[in-house]
Amino acid sequence: MEMETGLRRKLREIKVRKEVVLLYRGHVILDARLAKILEEVERKGSLLAAARSQGTSYSWVWSRVNRVEELLGEKLISVRRGGSRGGGATLTDLGRELLNIYMDTLTEGRVEPKRESILAAGYDPLLEKVIEPLRDRIDLHWSGSLGGIAKLVAGEVDVAAIHLYDPESGHFNRPFIDRFWLSDSVVLIRGYDREIGVMFRRDTQLERISDIIERGLRYVNMPPGSGTRLLADRILMMEMRRLGLEEPDPSKFVRGYDVQVRTHVGVAKKIVKGEADVGFGVREVAESFELEFLRVLWESYDFVIWRESFKKPSIEEFVERLRSGEARRLASELRGYRIPENIGEIVM
């Protein structure tokens, strides 16, 4: 009986992890490790930076990418060498499409933890810097604000970083904790404020939001469920009502509304390459790509944490990095951030 009890205890501790891989003619062309590299290339614009962020050698990444490109007969990554704006790398249409397929397949199931904790977030350059020293213990997924909340409700992540505006109350984030019946299960940690607005090239000469509709400017969108998409939709619909349009549906009156990318960096790249004229994002990304920026508002970017996860060492250290002044120091190196006095404190 004692042996049987011990066996059952061991069986309960067994965990099953399913890994998503993409196959081409029986060969693995994309797995979790390479998908993360492609995601980092898309965000950082550098193959070397992507390799370093994952603790992987540049030679391994280059060899792996070359092998997949030989199998497919097409490039995954376009490398730019030198020039007035320096070198860099970006995903090709094929590379971006493969990454989208991989991420869509991944989000159909559960996100299984590879490290001590998981943080799901709407994209943010400052969070990327704050969490960098903890990446060996905290998995960071750019899932969008609503995506992060959904994963939190499902028990798949420890933290959701959100920037969701509630037009009824006029507040960010707090109303959504009640809306998802999370009040008794989570704490809300105050984060920081950031400038959100419209990015565009200088030759576009955008003066007001309504120009997007009235001038038929080519728009590039964020995915459904992202905080930026929700805010942008609301602003565009307000402008359409102000213009007297009977059906304030952005998909009908905003040119290119169905064109989507996963992050603000993706939006900026589309605009820089001339594939779009305008798109919403944060000031830091706009100025990093030498784009013009029309501010819409300051938004609150906060952190929702499961009470049971709050005492995990990695989560404690993350919150301490917010409180200690490190986040303030890092924000001073970026543009478009305001750090409140109560950053890192429990506010709900």
Residue 279 has φ and ψ, to the nearest 5°, of -175, 155
**What Rg do the C-alpha atoms of the chain give, in angstroms?**
21
24 pLDDT higher than 70? yes
CATH architecture classification, 13-109: Orthogonal Bundle (1.10)
CA–CA separation, 88 vs 25, rounded Å? Answer: 31
Helix and strand element counts for the chain (H, E): 15, 13
Burial classification of residue 143, based on how many CB atoms lie within 10 Å of its CB (0-12 exposed, 13-18 middle, 19 or more buried): buried
52 pLDDT higher than 70? yes
- Please report which confidence band the pLDDT of residue 29 belongs to, taking 50, 70 and 90 as the band edges: confident
For the chain, the domains span 13-109, 115-348
Q: How far is CA 282 from CA 48, 62, 86, 95, 310, in A?
A: 24, 31, 23, 25, 29
pLDDT at residue number 107 = 61
CA–CA separation, 212 vs 190, rounded Å? Answer: 33
CA–CA separation, 31 vs 99, rounded Å? Answer: 10
What's the mean pLDDT in 117-121? Answer: 86
What does the pLDDT look like over 255-265, one tens digit per residue? 888 888 888 88
pLDDT at residue number 13 = 58
pLDDT at residue number 278 = 92
pLDDT at residue number 87 = 56
What does the pLDDT look like over 182-235, one tens digit per residue? 888 888 999 999 999 999 999 998 899 889 989 999 999 888 878 888 888 888
What's the mean pLDDT in 75-97? Answer: 73
CATH number (3.40.50.720, 1.10.340.30, 3.40.190.290, 1.20.120.140) of 115-348 reads 3.40.190.290
pLDDT at residue number 8 = 59
Smallest Cα–Cα separation from 223: which of 259, 186, 180, 270? 259
pLDDT at residue number 338 = 94
- Please report which confidence band the pLDDT of residue 111 belongs to, taking 50, 70 and 90 as the band edges: very low
Q: What percent of the chain has pLDDT over 70?
A: 90
Strand extents, DSSP E, the chain: 22-24, 27-30, 77-80, 88-91, 117-121, 138-142, 159-162, 165-166, 171-172, 186-200, 278-282, 292-306, 337-338
- Please report which confidence band the pLDDT of residue 55 belongs to, taking 50, 70 and 90 as the band edges: confident
14 pLDDT higher than 90? no
Window from 23-27, 277-281, 329-333, 344-348 with minimum mean pLDDT: 23-27
Q: How far is CA 10 from CA 5, 6, 114, 129, 336, in A?
A: 9, 6, 20, 39, 51
45 pLDDT higher than 70? yes
268 pLDDT higher than 80? yes
3 pLDDT higher than 60? no
Question: Can you give the pTM of this predicted structure?
Answer: 0.67
CA–CA separation, 179 vs 92, rounded Å? Answer: 40
DSSP string, 287-315: HHTT-EEEEEEEEEEEEEEEGGGTTSHHH
β-strand partners of 27:
24
73 pLDDT higher than 50? yes
What's the mean pLDDT in 154-169? Answer: 86
What's the mean pLDDT in 311-336? Answer: 90
Query: Tokens 């490109």 sit at which residue?
Result: 69
285 pLDDT higher than 60? yes
